[in-house]
Amino acid sequence: MAPSKIDPAIEIEAIDPGALKAELVAKYPTKVGRKRAKQIVVNRVDECADIPEIGANSRTIPGIITQRGCSYAGCKGVVLGPTRDIINLTHGPIGCGFYSWLTRRNQTKPKGEGDANFIPYCFSTDLHDEDIVFGGEKKLKAAIREAYETFKPKAISIFSTCPVGLIGDDVHSVAREMKAELGINIFGFSCEGYKGVSQSAGHHIANNGIFKHVIGLDDTAREGKFKINMLGEYNIGGDAFEIERIMDNAGITLISTFSGNSTYDSFTNAHTADLNTVMCHRSINYVAEMMEKKYGIPWIKVNFVGAASTAKSLRKIASYFEDEELIERVESIVAEEMVEVEKVRLDVKARCEGKLAMLFVGGSRAHHYQDLFREIGMKTIAAGYEFAHRDDYEGRAVLPDIKVDADSRNIEELDIEPDPERFSPRKSEEALERLKEKGFRFKDYDGMMAEMENGTLVIDDISQYETEKLIEIYKPAIFCAGIKEKYAVQKQGIPMKQLHNYDSGGPYAGFKGAVNFWQEIDRMVNTKIWSYLKAPWQKAPELSATYAWE
Amino acid sequence: MLLRHTTKEIKERKALTINPAKTCQPIGAMYAALGIHNCLPHSHGSQGCCSYHRSTLTRHYKEPVMAGTSSFTEGASVFGGQANLIQAIDTIFTVYDPDVIAVHTTCLSETIGDDIPQIARKADADGKIPGGKYVIHANTPSYVGTHVTGFATMTKAMVDYFAESKGPKIDQINIIPGYVEPSDMEEVKRILSQLGIKSVMFPDTSNVLNRPQTGRYDMFPKGGVTVEALRTTGSSRATIALGRLASGPAARALDSKCKVPCEILELPIGLLATDAFVDTLRRVCGVSVPESINNERGQLLDIITDMHQYFYGKKVGLVGDPDQLISLAEFLVSIDMWPIYVVTGTEGKKFESKIREITRDVPHEVKVVAGGDMFLFHQWIKNEPVDLMMGNTYLKYISRDEDIPFVRFGFPILDRVGHSYFPTVGYRGGMRLLEKILDALLDRNDRTSPEESFELVL
């Protein structure tokens, strides 16, 4: 379909989201429909900031055609994949390692030729049937030895795939044994694909493992007045490079990023930071919580997607440190950066204002990218996450009310005590009070729905059917999701932007990222290429009886 | 350097695979199932498998790739996936309404021993399979074989489930095209039509995974072999299977089930393999080869004779799948190129001996391994470089590090388009391959030759 010429705002007002929800649900078998009804919500934020409840982090309905992946993808692919100098060894048949090999566009920049970088490599034990029958531990040990002999890495991590759990390979005891034998850090993850209900379980398992086995191994205090960690930033398309640039300019020391452009050493040292800033709440809040309990590092939610959001997050970090010089420097950086940003924003806004966007992706991006669209006047009419929990939708206030079901209960919750020697509150009680009085909020995340307009649709774990129906009804100017959805959307004549891996673009974080993103959206929603869908003879199919020159 | 840790020194590895030259069975089964009209592939396992396969196929084809998954949780892994699969069958037929659900298993469902036909019978008894609709299956544990054998197994399942030998023979032949691109399948059909031969091709992903942009999305596009056509395969005069590994099992199954005689040929990549294909068609179907095909052959040969000086004696490293590599190596040898490194991730002694036979007159040591990986391939190159590499997209890292011209060929190609539209099979496909090889070699020459010997005419 060609882009609609009718003012989208008028058309959209005629659509009753409640009726649309009923229509979506009616298509399913009764029980399936009942379940989907809980995961499809018409947003309504009332005066008391009450938000409707949404079903999330529950089992995917088999056969529905979901966007979701598995625990292994969340653990190996998302959280640990971006680190360059750990050998990530997949223990299982060849597929899982193959599919997660270089496909997420995590960039990394080694410091010189001597610096390790294993990201372009895929390591697997490539289990065969005899290993499934007789057990794969022996092969795993041999593979670790071979990896060590050839590469001499600082650390090796082992990722379990589905059959590993079923045949009872104990990757953790193998890791301990090989660690003792080889003298390097070796640790395992029980992130079998069937754990939990989505990638989210794998994030949690990755958080636990990295906290247990890596964070806190090196107490060396690094130089720097304002030391922070950036959590939940994976350097897709170079996002981390842009954030590093901004932090450098501001004089803020990034001790570690989890895990874009990161190294093993930066993880071991992360507990020496004075503040944890959380980008992707879903994938990494566990590490933030655990570091606070064990080491006394407070955490705050930040968002470096969107220029205004970047400025806001920088100010938040600066006000945490209560340092006038830093506060001033941040202000001058914002003022300086915003000149170019505003120029592009206003230019792009003139062509994009009033257009509709839909975002169905991830566990934080469907929220964060709404800021970027809002800044150029585009409205998010429907959004949802692929693997988020209720707190990512409704805000952390609902945490005590979330029922833990059997699938989540199977994921270990680490029992964390303050470290007897290294626990040190970064702020005094008075300082905390002072900050809170100024309106500063720790561990705050209000979720996606609080920032979405009333009457918009919020859909968790959207199905292919629902995707097609939404596009048919709303005809958005752009749809954002992942590679599996991309071409089905585009075949409907609607441009589709991948927000997992950005297609070929990026960075989209920070100030330069905002400019890149807007220029990309401008290209996508305003190009003439979508007007060629009909050939001349399809537009005017009448046949003339004679050749034109007769 | 991108692959900075790859050492020249080669240590024997028994347990560790580095940079695999293969992937797992289910993705091949999913690809094959997409070649049935109105069929939704279904992955019986954790949902990550399905997500990974759909993503990889999508990145390769730049096309929608739809499939269902049984979305195993820990509970299903303990108690079996029957409830999940029945739920999936019900949901898929209710919401998406395909004619066929083609279930393939995974390492998870195979390890716990789910019996798909039994579950399908239960779904049928529960009334979850509407009349005239089918659930077929292929056992594709990821710890056996590779993507190629997964393709072969699902292709064979089409025979097992649908081929019938009722009634008289039909004047048609069956063509099993192998694990090739939709463009290749289209080209094989074009050659058959030039020869005036009626055929049923299965699977057939043309017009499925290279479909046009029309502004309209249909989950089940025009392409694909229909169930009706698959039924008639048992009554065909003969079967021609292209690629021993990918197409052999289905061809033999048709022979034993419906007594349809088969000829199993190499993939028609290059001059001699295409000659064998066309000649077999001529013999089996009793047709004469039209002038148009002779013309195409002559054009391919013309490029070979015109540009022979650029092919002669060039050392080539190949990574890919067995069926493709056998024909490609033969093609290269036939034009006096030297394929000196040949690596496939798919194990098989026959492959090694076949490549040895093809390259026996190459005046250079030839290293060949079935069940090898790209790390070893790269190490060979570090010990003695080649003039050209051919293989999937992952070779681009070696190509850049070692500055070696590179032609993308095989699966997956994640960073270029064209493979799904322009074939490499048949004489025309051979012409395209030569164009690509010459472009790579001559572009390199133009970039690096000294100014005094920089040439206008090549």
Residue A460 has pLDDT above 80, yes or no: yes
Q: In this predicted structure, what is the pLDDT of residue A11?
A: 72
If asked whether residues B278 and B304 sit together in one domain, one would say: no
**Average pLDDT rounded to a whole number, residues B391-409:** 98
Taking the C-alpha atoms of residue B120 and residue B88, their distance in angstroms, rounded to an integer, is: 11
Which of B1, B7, B47 should we substitute to test contact with A (largest number of A Cβ atoms within 10 Å)?
B47
* Count of the separate structural domains present in chain A: 2
Domain ends where: B276, B294, B312? Answer: B294
**Which pLDDT score is estimated for A2?**
44
Cβ-nearest to A166 among B23, B77, B214:
B77
Average pLDDT estimate for A477-487: 98
Provide the pLDDT for residue B112. Answer: 96
Task: Choose from A28, A85, A107, A126 for mutation: most chain B CBs within 10 A.
Answer: A126
Q: If you write DSSP's letter for every residue of A260-286 in order, what string do you get?
A: TT--HHHHHTGGG-SEEEESSHHHHHH
Residues A240 and A182 in one domain: no
Q: In terms of domains, do B145 and B245 share one?
A: no
CA distances from A189 to A158, A167, A169, B198 (A): 6, 15, 12, 55
| B chain contacts of residue A126, beta-carbon cutoff 8 Å | 17, 20
Strand partners, A300: A277
Closest residue on chain A to B213 (Cα): A491
Q: Which of B42, B52, B420 to mutate to test the interface with A (most CBs of A within 10 A)?
A: B52
Q: Is the pLDDT of residue A3 over 50?
A: no
CB contact under 8 A, B20 and A407: no
Find the mean pLDDT for residues B51-58. Answer: 98
What's the pLDDT at A546? 65
Minimum Cα–Cα distance from B214: chain A residue? A533
B111 assigned to some structural domain: yes
What is the CB-side half-sphere exposure of residue A252 using CA atoms within 13 A? 32
- Judge whether A176 counts as a catalytic residue: no
Residues B305 and B449 in one domain: yes
| B168 assigned to some structural domain | no
Name the strands in the sheet holding A226-233, side by side, starting at the edge strand that comes first in the sequence: A252-259, A226-233, A275-278, A299-301
Task: Tell me whether residue A127 is in a domain.
Answer: yes
pLDDT recorded at residue A540:
84
Give yes or no: residues A424 and A285 share one domain: yes
Q: What is the mean pLDDT of residues A352-373?
A: 97
Same domain, yes or no, for B315 and B443? yes
Sheet holding A496-498, edge to edge: A40-42, A457-459, A379-384, A356-360, A478-481, A496-498
Q: Does residue A412 share a domain with residue A292?
A: yes
A68 and chain B: CB distance < 8 Å anywhere? Answer: yes
Domain coverage including residue B205: 173-294
* CATH number, domain containing residue A244: 3.40.50.1980
Contacts of A112 (CB under 8 A, 6+ apart): none
Question: In sequence order, what are the beta bridge partners of B361?
Answer: none
pLDDT of the residue at A267? 98
| In a shared domain, residues B121 and B252 | no
Binned at pLDDT 50, 70 and 90, residue B313 comes out as very high
Q: B201 with B341, same domain?
A: no
**A179 and A259 belong to one structural domain:** no
Question: Using 50, 70 and 90 to split pLDDT, how confident is the model at B167?
Answer: confident
Select from A406, A437, A468 the last residue of a domain: A437
The pLDDT, as a whole number, for residue A550 is 54
A186 with A232, same domain?
A: no
> Which of B294, B309, B333 represents a domain boundary (last residue)?
B294
Report the alpha-carbon distance of residue B120 to residue B128 in Å, rounded: 9
Q: Is A480 a catalytic residue?
A: no
Residues A243 and A183 in one domain: no
The parent domain of residue A120 ranges over 71-194
Q: Do A131 and A244 belong to one domain?
A: no
Task: For B31-57, give the DSSP string.
Answer: HHHTTBTTEEEEEES-HHHHHHHHHHH
A2–B215 C-beta distance less than 8 A: yes
Residue A534 gets which letter from DSSP? S
Residue A544 banded pLDDT, cuts 50, 70, 90: low
Map residue A496 onto helix, strand or coil: strand
- A493-497: average pLDDT: 97
Last residue of a domain, one of A378, A408, A437: A437
Choosing from A36, A84, A91, A104, which is the catalytic residue? Answer: A104
Instruction: Say whether both B284 and B311 belong to one domain.
Output: no
Tokens of B154: 């699902």
Please name the amino acid found at residue A370: Q
| Residues B214, B147 share a domain | no
Residues A178 and A238 in one domain: no
Asked whether residue A295 is assigned to any structural domain, the reply reads: yes
pLDDT mean across residues, chain A: 95
- Supply the CATH number for residue B268's domain: 3.40.50.1980
The arithmetic mean of pLDDT across residues A54-69, rounded, is 98
Task: State how far the Cα of A61 lies from the Cα of A39, in Å rounded to an integer.
Answer: 12
Q: What is the pLDDT of residue A12?
A: 79
- Rounded to an integer, what distance in angstroms lies between the CA atom of residue A372 and that of residue A369? 5
The per-residue pLDDT for A112 is 93
Res A194: pLDDT: 97
Residues A232 and A132 in one domain: no
Judgement on whether residues B354 and B265 belong to the same structural domain of the protein: no
User: Would the CB atoms of B146 and A94 count as touching at under 8 Å?
Assistant: yes
Interface of A with B in 101-120 (CB under 8 A): 101-103, 110, 113, 116-118, 120
Indicate whether A480 belongs to any domain. no
Asked whether the predicted pLDDT for residue B242 surpasses 90, the reply is yes
pLDDT above 70 coverage of chain A, percent = 97
Strands B238-242 and B315-320: unpaired
Size of interface A-B (CB pairs under 8 A): 270
Q: Which residues of A400-412 are buried (b: 16+ CB within 10 A; e: fewer)?
A: eeeeeeebbeebe
Question: End-to-end alpha-carbon separation of chain B, Å?
Answer: 33
Domain presence at residue A14: no
State the catalytic residue, choosing from A70, A75, A147, A201: A70
* Distance from C-alpha of A468 to C-alpha of A382, rounded to nearest angstrom: 13
In a domain, B167, yes or no: no
Whether A213 is catalytic is: no
| B151 and B179 belong to one structural domain | no
Give the 3-state secondary structure of residue A347: helix
pLDDT of residue B148: 98
* Pairwise CA distance, residues A225 & A253, whole Å: 7
User: Residue A530's closest chain B neighbor by CA?
Assistant: B215
- Give A530's contacts in chain B (Cβ within 8 Å): 215
**A194 shares contact with chain B (CB less than 8 Å):** yes
Domain identity same for A231 and A318: yes
A60 and B397 within 8 Å at the Cβ level: the answer is: no
- Indicate the residue of B23, B51, B76 with minimum beta-carbon distance to A98: B23
Looking at the structure, tell me whether residues B198 and B272 fall in a common domain: yes
Q: What is the pLDDT of residue A7?
A: 56
Query: Both A174 and A257 in a single domain?
Result: no
Q: Which tens digit of pLDDT belongs to each residue from B335-385? A: 999 999 999 999 998 999 999 999 999 999 999 999 999 999 999 999 999
- Cis upstream peptide for B412 (omega within 30°): yes
Render pLDDT for A110-136 as a digit per residue (tens, 0 to 9). Answer: 999 999 999 999 999 999 999 999 999
Domain end residue (candidates: A437, A457, A492):
A437
Proportion of chain B above pLDDT 70, given as a percent: 100
CA distance linking residue B86 with residue A63, whole number of Å: 9
Percent of chain B whose pLDDT exceeds 90: 99
Question: Does any domain span residue B2?
Answer: no
Residue (of A367, A399, A373, A397) closest to A385 by Cα position: A367
Query: What does the pLDDT look like over A11-56, one tens digit per residue?
Result: 778 899 999 999 999 999 999 999 999 999 999 998 887 999 999 9
Q: Are residues A144 and A277 in the same domain?
A: no
Q: Do the domain assignments include residue A338?
A: yes
Q: Is residue A33 part of a domain?
A: no
Task: Identify the pLDDT of residue B135.
Answer: 98
Number of domains comprising chain B: 3
- A452, A482, A468: which is closest to A41 by C-alpha? A452
Q: Which residues of A touch B42 (CB under 8 A)?
A: 63
- The confidence score (pLDDT) of residue A549 equals 59
Does A253 reach chain B within 8 Å, measured CB to CB?
Answer: no
Flag whether A163 is in a domain: yes
pLDDT attached to residue A10: 61
Whether A48 sits among the annotated catalytic residues: the reply is: no
State which amino acid sits at residue A515: V
pLDDT of B320 over the 80 cut: yes
Tell me what the mean pLDDT of segment A231-258 comes to. 98
pLDDT of residue A413: 95
Domain membership of residue A43 (yes or no) is no
| Same domain as B376, residue B262 | no
Contacts of A483 in chain B (CB under 8 A): 55, 58-59
Contact A163 B27 (CB under 8 A): no
The residue of A162, A186, A461, A462 whose CB has the most chain B CBs within 10 angstroms, and thus the best one to mutate to test that interface, is A162
Distance separating alpha carbons of residues B188 and B191, to the nearest angstrom: 5
**End-of-domain residue from the set B247, B269, B294:** B294
Counted residue by residue, chain A has a size of: 550
Does the pLDDT value for residue B121 go beyond 90? Answer: yes
Hey, what long-range contacts does B439-445 have (CB within 8 A, 24 or more apart)? B440/B388, B440/B405, B440/B406, B440/B407, B441/B310, B441/B314, B441/B387, B441/B388, B441/B405, B442/B310, B443/B405, B444/B405
